[in-house]
């Protein structure tokens, strides 16, 4: 049987990195076996739906180099791939279950349900539907249907025994049937619940491996009972532990937690994000951290996903991103970084801009940092800290060094890096000063700060006029 996995997000127009990690795992499981990776849109909760959300998911996955073999925008043989377009399918299968005695119509009103909830509350018990509608006579049911009484369809759970869920990561889980609620499969508005739709769709779409959040692990007992009721083969379950925010809470849109698009817009490379996310909870057999997608496809074994939740660590992601930025060739790097530079470069030559940006290639953790790093090359005035002012007064040679730099640089005909490097040597010879006292005073005078790129580069980029002015 061909391996087929599916990514099944709700169309909320947002993807936090925990969702994206699930998608990557699903993609890797499929591609490791040369299988298919599907996108299914789970929009049974219509209130959460956002326009353009499907394209947003396609764009996100495309940026991550994850190709969707079948989905709403590239249908295969198993469509439709959007749940709200499959309502007649769910209804047909819900009625089949009623027919087989594994489900029943429930006509209870909101008031009746509220009463049951209150009773359960008083006894400090979780609410379980008491099954009263499963006992209605055939005649009563027909009468109600004829009169258009609103109904839902509920799954009829066994009351004794246990149901087993087998999971690749968590092993064999036993769930006591007595705690299973006669859950709703079809709502009164004709929409299925997630609990029903996921089983129908996974079966009809020939999904072999279901990879999803661990919060669905216990629920899978109910899904297994549905598979059994239909006489269908169950998929392989791979429930993955959660990704927590640095505050120890579940990631969520509401908490403004790491969204893939936010990271992308800040200047994190999708390849770095993918690499980081895969290792968040999964460990490869070989001792290695940096992987291309092809290497991941080859190496990925879901059995090596850990059982405990992982914490999203932006510092580690920055580490990966820095590595990936360094690996870009100059052309790729310049194309990547230029959009993040917001200073006005209209009066500068391309060569000047490229040289400036290239200097910081090995120092950036993400794109948006570039403005702060190159600030000294754009701002008109510089400020020198008290400490640095003190340093400038700390040695009698310093004024001489500064004056010599000024005069020698003023004499230069060619304002280029080699000529400037030569000037530094001349100042060294003329003044007999070397080391920190040779480099620091000029750095501080021209930029205000003691750190920066190689001194000749720094002098060159700040430019003749400004350098001479500041050395005066």
DSSP-assigned letter for residue 179: G
List the one residue from 5, 9, 157, 337 that touches ligand GLU (CB under 6 A).
9
Is residue 15 near ligand GLU by the rule CB under 6 A? Answer: no
> Active-site residue numbers?
253
Which residue lies nearer to ligand GLU by CB, 9 or 71? Answer: 9
By CB under 6 A, tell whether 322 contacts ligand GLU: no
Residues 183-202 close enough to bind ligand GLU by CB under 6 A? 198
Segment near ligand GLU (CB under 6 A); pick from 4-12, 122-130, 298-306, 367-375: 4-12
Q: With binding defined as CB under 6 A, does residue 10 bind ligand GLU?
A: yes
* Residue span binding ligand GLU (CB under 6 A) among the ranges 6-14, 68-76, 422-430, 447-455: 6-14
Q: Is 16 in the site for ligand GLU (CB under 6 A)?
A: no
Please pick, from the candidates 4, 102, 209, 212, the single residue that binds ligand GLU as defined by CB under 6 A. Answer: 212
CB of 89 to ligand GLU, least distance (A): 17
Residues of this chain, 67-126, that bind ligand GLU according to CB under 6 A? none
CB of 10 to ligand GLU, least distance (A): 5
321 near ligand GLU, rule: CB under 6 A? no
Identify which of residues 205 and 364 has a Cβ nearer to ligand GLU in the complex: 205
Q: Quick check: 376 binds ligand GLU (CB under 6 A)?
A: no
| Part of the chain binding ligand GLU (CB under 6 A), chosen from 7-15, 252-260, 356-364, 391-399 | 7-15
Site for ligand GLU in 25-44 (CB under 6 A): 42
8 in contact with ligand GLU (CB under 6 A): yes
Smallest gap, in angstroms, from Cβ of residue 235 to ligand GLU?
10
Rounded to a whole number of angstroms, the minimum distance from the CB of residue 320 to ligand GLU is: 26
Residues that bind ligand GLU (CB under 6 A): 8-10, 42, 198, 212-213
């Amino acid at each position: 049987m061909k391996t087929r996995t599916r990514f099944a997000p709700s169309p909320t127009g947002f993807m936090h990195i925990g969702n994206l990690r699930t998608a990557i795992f699903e993609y890797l499981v499929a591609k490791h076996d040369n299988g298919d990776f599907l996108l299914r849109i789970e929009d049974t909760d219509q209130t959460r739906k956002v326009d353009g959300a499907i394209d947003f998911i396609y764009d996100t996955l495309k940026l991550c180099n994850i190709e969707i073999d079948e989905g709403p925008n590239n249908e295969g043989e198993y469509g439709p791939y959007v749940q709200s377009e499959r309502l007649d399918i769910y209804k047909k299968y819900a009625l089949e279950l009623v027919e087989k005695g594994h489900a029943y119509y429930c006509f209870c009103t909101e008031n009746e349900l509220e009463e049951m909830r209150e009773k359960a509350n008083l006894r400090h018990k979780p609410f379980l539907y008491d099954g009263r509608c499963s006992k209605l006579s055939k005649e009563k049911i027909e009468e109600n249907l004829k009169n258009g009484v609103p109904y839902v369809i509920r799954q009829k759970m066994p009351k004794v025994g246990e149901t087993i869920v087998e999971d690749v990561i968590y092993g064999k889980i036993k769930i006591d049937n007595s705690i299973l609620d006669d859950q709703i499969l079809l709502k009164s508005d004709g929409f299925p619940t997630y609990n029903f739709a996921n089983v129908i769709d996974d079966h009809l779409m020939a999904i072999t491996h279901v990879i999803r959040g661990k919060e669905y692990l216990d629920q899978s007992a109910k899904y297994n009972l549905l598979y059994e009721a239909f006489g269908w083969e169950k998929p392989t379950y791979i429930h993955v532990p959660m990704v927590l925010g640095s505050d120890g809470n579940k990631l969520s849109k509401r908490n403004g937690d790491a969204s893939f698009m936010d990271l992308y817009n800040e200047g994190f490379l999708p390849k770095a994000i993918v690499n980081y996310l895969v290792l968040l909870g999964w460990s490869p057999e070989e001792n290695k951290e940096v992987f291309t997608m092809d290497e991941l496809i080859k190496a990925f074994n879901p059995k090596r996903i850990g059982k405990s939740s992982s914490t999203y660590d932006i510092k580690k992601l920055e580490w990966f991103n820095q590595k990936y930025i360094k690996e870009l060739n100059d052309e790729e790097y310049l194309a990547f970084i230029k959009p993040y530079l917001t200073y006005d470069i209209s009066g500068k030559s391309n060569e000047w801009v490229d040289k400036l940006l290239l200097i910081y290639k090995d120092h950036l953790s993400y794109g948006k940092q570039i403005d702060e790093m190159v600030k000294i090359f754009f701002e008109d005035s510089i400020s020198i800290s008290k400490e640095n002012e003190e340093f400038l007064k700390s040695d009698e040679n310093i004024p001489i060094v500064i004056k010599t730099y000024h005069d020698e640089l003023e004499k230069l005909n060619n304002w280029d890096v080699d000529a400037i490097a030569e000037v530094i040597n001349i100042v060294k010879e003329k003044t007999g000063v070397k080391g920190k006292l040779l480099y620091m005073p000029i750095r501080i005078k021209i930029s205000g700060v003691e750190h920066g790129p190689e001194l000749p580069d720094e002098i060159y980029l700040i430019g003749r006029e400004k350098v001479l002015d500041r050395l005066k």
